[in-house]
Structure 1
Amino acid sequence: MTNFLGSAYLWVKAAHVIFMVFWMAGLFILPRYLVHHQDGLEDPAEGPRWTAREAKLRSMILTPSLVAVWVLGLALAANAGLFDGQPGLGWLHAKLLFVVLLTGYHGWAVGYANKLAAGRPTIAASRLRMFNEVPALLLTLIVMLAVVKPF
């Protein structure tokens, strides 16, 4: 399937980058929402407000962007020959590993939002604030691999 995208390649790549930016914007803000949600659990009026904000963020930005990033990214990977055993794609294997980890982080954040919606925080506020940095670290590694292609 190598090079099956033909002249559409650059359009697919551009869409992949655009939806990646949307997804990352959501992943940068959701953990901050979680911190505020957890801090606001003492006020009975605040919890439902944060739950609604988080649900809108997930349904309007996070989930659609996640799906688009994966679909477009797999199309680009297939175009590069990942599924044909094309040599020299070690960087892409590593990038996919980090994207899988980022997807897992996304799932964890959604799961923790659900715990907060049920009024069951399980992480100290200081640790939750540290988890805010995970998307930035993973994004840095993913972009370096995609741009530099070191191996």
Structure 2
Amino acid sequence: MLWIKALHIVFIASWFAGLFYLPRIFVNLAMEGEGPARERLLLMARKLYRFTTMLALPALVFGAWLVWLQYGGGEQFKLPGWLHAKLTLVLLIVGYHHACGSLLKKFERGVNQRDHKWYRWFNEVPVLLLLAVTILVVVKPF
């Protein structure tokens, strides 16, 4: 179980590295006009989104495996309250990841309507989500 937990942590950290950096590319894209710099930023964003998606999948699989090992397998599948809250936040993180993909598509089509200030705030969301999940996992407040 410790190997699974270690792999889960590594993939979570890697996934979040992408979730922290991709919106920073969006900030730069929102400030950039047409030209080679914009195309380079779009290429970076595409590659990072694909790579981040590949990191998210094992993070989720190893997380589900941990839940199963710890709480599954019996007749009752009863999860503690903190884990319900964590899984809800994980759904929000997956939604944020998906939103990044949608925003990337808007940049690719040239239909982005948001300014760089909005993306700076958008960039703070994964920080708050990671903070909340970490507190739930370590402190287990309920």
Query: Which among 126, 129, 133 is matched to residue 142 of structure 1?
Result: 133
C-alpha separation in 1, matches of 2:20 and 2:114 = 18
C-alpha separation in 1, matches of 2:125 and 2:77 = 31
Specify whether residues 103 and 33 from structure 1 end up closer, same or farther in structure 2 by C-alpha distance, changes over 3 A only: same
Gaps of 5+ in 1: 1-8
Aligned length: 140
Partner of 1:17 in structure 2? Answer: 9
Query: Which among 83, 87, 103 is matched to residue 112 of structure 1?
Result: 103
Deviation at 1:137, TM superposition (A): 0.2
Asked if 1 retains the 8 angstrom alpha-carbon contact of 2:15 and 2:55, the reply is yes
C-alpha separation in 1, matches of 2:41 and 2:106 = 12
TM-score when normalising by structure 2: 0.92
Note if 1:59 corresponds to 2:50: yes
Asked if 2 retains the 8 angstrom alpha-carbon contact of 1:27 and 1:135, the reply is yes
Deviation at 1:125, TM superposition (A): 2.1
C-alpha separation in 2, matches of 1:120 and 1:110 = 14
Note if 1:75 corresponds to 2:65: yes
TM-score when normalising by structure 1: 0.87
Runs of 4+, deviation exceeding 3 Å:
none
Gaps of 5+ in 2: none
- 1:140 counterpart letter in structure 2: L
Partner of 2:94 in structure 1? Answer: 103
Query: Which among 11, 21, 28 is matched to residue 29 of structure 1?
Result: 21
Deviation at 1:110, TM superposition (A): 1.3
The alignment yields a C-alpha RMSD, in angstroms, of 1.4
C-alpha separation in 2, matches of 1:100 and 1:32 = 22
- 1:29 counterpart letter in structure 2: Y
- 1:136 counterpart letter in structure 2: V
Query: Which among 31, 42, 47 is matched to residue 39 of structure 1?
Result: 31
